[in-house]
Amino acid sequence: MIIQCEDNTPIKNLTPKSRKKIIFKCDNCGKESSRVYRNYYNNEINLCRSCMAKKINNNPEVKKKNSEKQKERWKYTNKEEIGNKISNAQKKSWKNGRKGKRKSLSYEKVKKSFEDEGYTFLINENEYYNTPNLKMKYKCPKGHIGYTDYNHWFIRKQRCGKCSKNAPLSYYNVKSSFEERGYELVTTKEEFRGTSEDLKYKCPYGHYGSITWTHWLRGHGCSKCAKNQKIKLENVKESIELDNYIFLGENIKNSKDFFEVECSKGHRFKTCWNYWNAGQRCPQCASEMTSSKAEKEIGDIIENMGFDIIRNDRSLLGNLELDIYIESKKLAIEYCGIYWHSEKFKDKNYHINKLKRCREIGIDLITIFEDEWINKRDIVESRLKHILGKSEDVIYARNCEVKEIESKIAKKFCENYHIQGYQPSKVKLDLLYNNQIVSVMTFGKQSAAKGKSNSIEGEWEIIRFCSRYNVVGAAGKLLSYFKKNFEWNKIITFADRRWSKGNLYEKLGFSFVGYTKPNYWYINMNSDNLKREHRYTYRKNKISHLGEGTEWDIMKSLGYTRIWDCGHIKFQLVK
């Protein structure tokens, strides 16, 4: 039974050959699943993927055929005879490489290719067979053991994943890293979703647990074993005194027990052996040494508004630092330098994970990028004042008038008062107070940069909304004008999670749709003035003449890196 179309198109409008995806209920288990409409239309029985797989695998003819193929394959010991028994389709797929046809390589040629670069090929001739899917075990010149295949070694030219920062870690490289320390990786290849998620393990003493790849690289291991380790008080005191600190604690049972320490400048703070051993020292001294000028300026501005702040707090998120925390407002501010917060040092989920950690303990987090503070400081200060309820000039929309304006006027206003600047749009509305523009809202069709390849009649997006002052009711009045004077069926909009939770759109009657994944900007590392550049400018079809490989491969070769945001919240208003 069909429930709905994924893009909310009426089912009756779909043709039998339509490629639109629909959501339907499985005829067997009743679970919701998705499928292209024409495939659903042509089938008498519609099953979800799981039920379909079970049906196929339980078919006696399929079972018999698979059994015969398996027996036939392992019946031969000679590699050439095995190759002759493989289906023509399989042979063809093996021959097709990424750039033309794949060359047939003998064991000697492959082994020589590894040895020419100082690698040791750890597969013997009996284990080798000529297929691109073969996982070839190696040992690099630095002693790291890993796995690769034909495509990654010969086509992509990727080498040891532990030596190269650019090479993505495969499941086999992660597994070999655990095995080197006597651990067993419990996470299966099917469950593996990259190193950004927790990895399940079994330690040499039989304890089961999970750990992030970052913590594993830092030398962490089984948490249960760490708790059982006895820590000698004499060793702790000796380590602390070597760094000219004074130990003020009494007794320590394990590595997570907190004790008081005094630094050489007289600052007292609490820490534990895990934090100390990881290199964490006096937070007040670190704040004085590492806080950027911009961080201090933002903190000073908030203090001048009359708020008490805590700088460089590590008590709330443990291993993560909050640059500025306003306890009375349950609000934290993160200032991100373009260079140090780029993908070169922070992974793609760093900012969103920090945001989620804050939300879990009831704290709102604002993330400010360096180029926003340098190039649009007035707008950043204005937004902070508005969020903290310290806006000075208040105007009421009931005393204003709505008018349609030209692109030039809208562009100038958005460039001055919107943190992302102006984006072309079809409908531009302003709010006038005493013949002065105090607010602007623009509407257009959803752009290709947000994943929309073609526009749908009656579907609009709020592209920009910004105000010169604190205009109470501005968004509602501008939106009401649009709904009365333009044909619409649905209006969508996005709220930047770095700045907002989307409360404004909920008040306007919009409903929550979902969260988008974190997205990226490019940064030219060869430039003296580092700033974010929108990814849409560097699409593959625009830069393909500058190099080979993916968009990211080409941009890396040109000296660019990426910085990731926190994603957006999508809302929609349906007529």
Residue 230 has pLDDT above 70, yes or no: no
Cα–Cα–Cα angle for 265, 267, 269, nearest 5°? 145
Q: What are phi and psi of 534, to 5 degrees?
A: -65, 140
Joined together, the tokens standing for residue 29 give 């288990």
Residue 302 C-alpha from the chain's centroid = 30
Cα–Cα–Cα angle for 563, 410, 505, nearest 5°? 65
Residue 131 has pLDDT above 80, yes or no: no
In terms of pLDDT, which residue wins out, 104 or 147?
Answer: 147
Using alpha carbons, list the distances in angstroms from residue 102 to 96, 149, 156, 276. 6, 13, 13, 53
Encode pLDDT of 503-544 as tens digits: 999 999 999 999 999 999 999 888 777 889 998 888 888 888
Residue 93 has pLDDT above 60, yes or no: no
Cα–Cα–Cα angle for 133, 136, 137, nearest 5°? 150
Question: What DSSP designation does 432 have?
Answer: E
d(CA 411, CA 406): 9
d(CA 45, CA 52): 10
Predicted local confidence at residue 490, as pLDDT: 93
Q: Are strands 364-369 and 331-336 parallel, antiparallel or unpaired?
A: parallel
Per-residue H/E/C for 155-184:
HCCCCCCCCCCCCCCCHHHHHHHHHHCCCE
Report pTM: 0.52
Question: What DSSP designation does 101 have?
Answer: B
3-state secondary structure (DSSP) of residue 10: coil
Instruction: Name 22's bridge partners.
Output: 5, 35
Q: Which of 17-21, 299-303, 364-368 has the weakest average pLDDT? A: 17-21
Q: Which of 84-93, 204-213, 430-439 has the weakest average pLDDT? A: 84-93
Residue type, 336: C
Name the residue with tokens 């820590």.
231
Q: Which long-range contacts (CB under 8 A, 24 or more apart) does 30-34 make?
A: 32/3, 34/6
- Taking Cα atoms as reference points, which of 534, 540, 536 lies closest to residue 554? 540
DSSP H stretches of helix in 368-448: 370-375, 377-387, 407-417
Cα–Cα–Cα angle for 320, 321, 325, nearest 5°? 130
Using alpha carbons, list the distances in angstroms from residue 555 to 157, 441, 458, 536, 538. 17, 34, 37, 13, 8
pLDDT band at 214 (very low <50, low <70, confident <90, very high): confident
Q: Do residues 316 and 322 lie in contact, with contact meaning Cβ atoms separated by under 8 Å?
A: yes
Strand order in the sheet with 401-404: 401-404, 427-433, 436-444, 459-467, 490-496, 568-574, 511-515
Outline where DSSP puts E strands in 102-214. 120-121, 136-139, 145-148, 184-185, 199-202, 208-211
DSSP H stretches of helix in 339-470: 350-360, 370-375, 377-387, 407-417
d(CA 502, CA 225): 44
Residue type, 56: I
Q: Are strands 394-396 and 470-472 parallel, antiparallel or unpaired?
A: parallel
Mean pLDDT score, 187-201: 81
Using alpha carbons, list the distances in angstroms from residue 519 to 397, 535, 549, 550, 554. 34, 9, 21, 17, 18
Instruction: Name 398's bridge partners.
Output: none
Q: Are strands 208-211 and 199-202 parallel, antiparallel or unpaired?
A: antiparallel
Encode pLDDT of 445-479 as tens digits: 876 555 555 667 889 999 999 999 899 999 999 99
pLDDT band at 74 (very low <50, low <70, confident <90, very high): low
Mean pLDDT for the chain overall: 82
Domains and CATH numbers, the chain: 2-57 (no CATH), 60-95 (no CATH), 107-223 (no CATH), 229-284 (no CATH), 395-488 (3.40.630.30)
Measure CA of the first residue to CA of the last residue in the chain; give whole Å. Answer: 26
